[in-house]
Amino acid sequence: MVSFLIKTFGCQFNELYSAAIADALVRGGNQSVEDLDKASLVIIDSCAVRKKSEEKAFSFLGEAAKTIGARNIVFIGCVASVDRERAVRIAGHGLRIIEGTMSLDAILAVVETLAPIELDDSPPRSLFPTADIELIRGCESYCTYCIVPAARGREISIDGADVLRSALGAVRSGFSELLFLGQNINKYRSSFGGLVGILSQVDAIEGSFWFWFLSSHPANFEPIEVRRLMELQHIEHRLHLPLQSGSDRILERMNRHYTLSQYADLVRPIRDAAGWALTTDIIVGFPGETNDDFLRTIDAVQEFRFDGVFLAKYSDRQGTPSSRMGDKVPQSVIDERHAMLLRVIQDLSREGNQRVAGQVVEVLVLSRQGSDKAFGRSIDGRNVWFSWMGQEPQVGRFMRVLIDHGSKEGLYGTTI
């Protein structure tokens, strides 16, 4: 038996891989620990999307190498494949590095040389009640700021029958939510067709469950597909569609292949429908972003009334085309724009959540918080903190909650 610690940075993909590794190790009879000095095996699942996350992974790697030695560390994720030299310099030889493009099977094969594991096809239990399911791996969209195409490599669609088998298995074993994953999920192709094709098959599964998917790319999505997805029975009432910038000039420099007006056409069905939420990713301070470009982004955020925005400060990633652009925005300006846009976003979130007051929403229970409170997520993706009358909430159950009020963080109410 081995005591292991898994440290995860970054995206939903890393969460899924880390959870699957942890589950396989636990089934193999090993023990999960929280402290470095109690661990005899450390797995670091790293993220290279921004400089800050990369530095965190390297700093943890250094600490782990000092405590348990490089030979007992498995270093995976995007940083492992874009800067293995630095990883070896920090940890020393003997570090087990697995490139981010590798599949879960390949990672588990290396982990197995260090600790017993047991394989199982079912979704990771530790993510219950959500089953994360990979649809497409890698990315070939080459946004000029992004390290992912270099780190994760070419696009590989998972076989449609395998996806359906995973979805069916998850629903039958009691998972309440399926989350389909792809760096650019609109590029998915299988014998069932593209994204709409496979999700329509999933929708036909019998049972009580919701599903949603991450992340979409506006350049590979058609308004008719958005409308068809909105008609599915089990789909959550939310769309996450990264906009990145409200300026066509910057979108072009980002190599995004759409204009603001095309984005508007895509999200119109969502904005016209009651009860659907729209969230996005925005980067401020991309090289060459003028004050006018930035104001266009603010206008766009207000026009689309985003229900949530993942706001990032532009971060220079070595080897990306934007890192070679000459007209960098000074850090102080990036910080200022970030603070300004954040205020706009928080006001929108507060207003959006306050509008739900007085309504009854369907909520998936995610955790219990003490003896008289529970936490969950509404069908349109909002955080919900609630108390109950009668039936006790159980993780994975759906409940109807009457919303009393909203804040910028979410909704508060009582079950009916």
**Which among 278, 359, 283, 292 is positioned nearest to 314, based on CA atoms?**
283
Q: Indicate the residue among 41 and 243 with the shorter CB distance to ligand SF4.
A: 243
- Would you state the structure tokens that stand for residue 398, as one six-digit string? 């759906």
Say which entry of ligand SF4, ligand 5AD, none residue 352 contacts (CB below 5 to 8 A, set by partner kind): none
Give dist(CA 205, CA 191) in Å, integer: 18
Say which entry of ligand SF4, ligand 5AD, none residue 188 contacts (CB below 5 to 8 A, set by partner kind): none
- Would you state the structure tokens that stand for residue 202, as one six-digit string? 């999933």
- Contacts of ligand SF4 in 133-162 (CB under 6 A): 139, 141-143, 146, 148-149
- Would you state the structure tokens that stand for residue 115, as one six-digit string? 């600790």
Q: Indicate the residue among 243 and 300 with the shorter CB distance to ligand SF4.
A: 243
**Residue 244 CB, nearest approach to ligand 5AD (Å):** 6
Buried b / exposed e over 112-138, threshold 16 CB at 10 Å, is: eebbebeeeeebbeebbbbbbbbbbbb
Q: Indicate the residue among 205 and 312 with the shorter CB distance to ligand 5AD.
A: 312
CA distances from 329 to 249, 287, 309, 380 (A): 15, 6, 21, 36
- Would you state the structure tokens that stand for residue 113, as one six-digit string? 């040389």
Residue 303 has a CB neighbour count (10 Å cut-off) of 12
Say which entry of ligand 5AD, ligand SF4, none residue 63 contacts (CB below 5 to 8 A, set by partner kind): none
Residue of 18, 184, 201, 383 that binds ligand SF4 (CB under 6 A): 184
Binding characters for ligand SF4, 204-243, by CB under 6 A (x = yes): -------------x--------------------------
Q: Indicate the residue among 212 and 221 with the shorter CB distance to ligand SF4.
A: 221
Helix (H) or strand (E) holding 180: strand 177-182
**Residue 254 CB, nearest approach to ligand SF4 (Å):** 8
Cβ atoms of 138 and 103 within 8 Å: the answer is: no
Residue at token pair 């699957």: 20
373 three-state secondary structure = strand
Say which entry of ligand 5AD, ligand SF4, none residue 114 contacts (CB below 5 to 8 A, set by partner kind): none
Give dist(CA 139, CA 239) in Å, integer: 20
**Residue 25 CB, nearest approach to ligand SF4 (Å):** 28
**Which among 205, 208, 293, 219 is positioned nearest to 256, based on CA atoms?**
219
- Would you state the structure tokens that stand for residue 293, as one six-digit string? 């470009």
**Residue 323 CB, nearest approach to ligand 5AD (Å):** 8
- Contacts of ligand SF4 in 42-61 (CB under 6 A): none
Cβ atoms of 239 and 269 within 8 Å: the answer is: no
| Residue 166 sits in the site that holds ligand SF4 (CB under 6 A) | no
Q: Indicate the residue among 285 and 396 with the shorter CB distance to ligand SF4.
A: 285
Q: Indicate the residue among 152 and 237 with the shorter CB distance to ligand SF4.
A: 152
Q: Indicate the residue among 197 and 321 with the shorter CB distance to ligand SF4.
A: 321
Binding region for ligand 5AD (CB under 6 A): 49-50, 145-146, 242, 244, 281, 283, 312, 314-315, 317
Q: Indicate the residue among 96 and 337 with the shorter CB distance to ligand 5AD.
A: 337
| Residue 181 sits in the site that holds ligand SF4 (CB under 6 A) | no
Give dist(CA 377, CA 381) in Å, integer: 6
Q: Indicate the residue among 72 and 320 with the shorter CB distance to ligand SF4.
A: 320
Cβ atoms of 61 and 73 within 8 Å: the answer is: yes
Say which entry of ligand 5AD, ligand SF4, none residue 50 contacts (CB below 5 to 8 A, set by partner kind): ligand 5AD
**CB contact set of 369 (below 8 Å; sequence gap of 6+):** 375, 385
- Name the DSSP letter for residue 160: H
Q: Indicate the residue among 130 and 244 with the shorter CB distance to ligand 5AD.
A: 244
Give dist(CA 415, CA 406) in Å, integer: 15
**Residue 94 CB, nearest approach to ligand SF4 (Å):** 32
Q: Which residues are registered as beta bridge partners of 363?
A: 378, 399
**Residue 255 CB, nearest approach to ligand SF4 (Å):** 8
**Where along the sequence are the contacts to ligand SF4 (CB under 6 A)?**
139, 141-143, 146, 148-149, 183-184, 217
